[in-house]
């Protein structure tokens, strides 16, 4: 609850009391609006940060030692890769694996909760028909097709939303508008 919308009322039971109590005001959803692109971008960044410090680390802890790429510093890894270029394929495979897990993260959270960690923090959720197919399509360029994300985002210039959202027009990001009632 947004605490700046709490008001303080005097305690009617105590005539001479100066004590105040806090009362939650009733709320009502009055509509939805498309959140601005910067909010969606920040939400995505928050998701990436959360993902990096959680699932990415777990993946690397298991994957890197198995493929012999566990080094104590980036410099060491760089030096190793320069003398063993064939090891780059393992780095690439690892990154692709990570991107698939990222896709799974978005798909699972959006399908089950209509939101992700980043979206939740920014007050964004999804509305509409949320099917697995839709959430996968709308999250491809945010994960496995990451190199194409800039092209996807260019859609904002022409159609007001990402190009990938053309295919999933039934679901859209929303930002709840809340009005507070009166006592």
Partner 1 sequence: MEIAKTIKVFVTLLLFTILTAFLLGKMFETEYGNVALIKIYGEISFEESPFEKTANADKIIDNLKEAKENPVIKALLIEINSPGGTVVATRNIANYLKSINKTKVCLLKDVATSGAYWIASACDVIVSDEYTITGSIGVTASYLEFSKFFEKYGINYVRIVSGEEKDIGTPFREPTEKEIKNLQDIINEMHKDFIKDVAENRNLSIQKVSEIADGSIFTGKKALELGLIDVLGDKEKAIQIIKQRTNLTQVKLVEHEEKISFVDLLSQFLSKNVFSMSKLKISV
Q: Name the residues that contact partner 1, by CB under 8 A.
A: 55, 58-63, 65-68, 71, 76, 79-80, 82-84, 87, 89-90, 93-94, 97, 100-101, 104-105, 108-109, 112-113
Residues in Cβ contact with 131 at an 8 Å cutoff, skipping those fewer than 6 apart: 111
Nearest distance from residue 42's CB to partner 1, in Å?
A: 22
Whichever of 120 and 175 has its CB closer to partner 1, that residue is 120
Nearest distance from residue 86's CB to partner 1, in Å?
A: 10
Whichever of 67 and 159 has its CB closer to partner 1, that residue is 67
Radius of gyration of the chain, Cα coordinates, nearest whole angstrom: 23
Q: What CA–CA distance (Å, rounded) separates 118 from 116?
A: 5
Whichever of 54 and 127 has its CB closer to partner 1, that residue is 54
Closest CA to 101 of 50, 59, 40: 59
Residue 19, token pair as written in the block: 């004590």
């Amino acid at each position: 609850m947004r605490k700046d919308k709490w008001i303080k009322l005097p305690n009617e039971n105590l005539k001479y009391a100066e004590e105040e109590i806090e009362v939650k005001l009733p709320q009502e959803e009055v509509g939805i609006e498309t959140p601005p692109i910067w909010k969606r971008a920040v939400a995505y960044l928050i998701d990436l940060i959360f993902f990096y410090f959680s699932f990415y680390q777990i993946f690397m802890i298991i994957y890197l030692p198995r493929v012999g790429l566990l080094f104590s510093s980036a410099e060491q890894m760089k030096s190793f890769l320069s003398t063993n270029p064939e090891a780059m394929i393992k780095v690439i495979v690892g990154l692709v694996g990570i991107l698939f897990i990222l896709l799974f993260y978005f798909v699972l959270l959006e399908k089950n909760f209509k939101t992700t960690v980043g979206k939740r923090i920014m007050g964004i959720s999804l509305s509409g028909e949320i099917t697995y197919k839709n959430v996968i399509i709308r999250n491809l360029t945010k994960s496995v097709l990451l190199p194409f994300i800039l092209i996807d985002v260019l859609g904002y210039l022409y159609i007001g939303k990402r190009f990938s959202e053309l295919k999933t027009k039934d679901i859209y990001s929303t930002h709840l508008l809340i009005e507070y009632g009166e006592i």
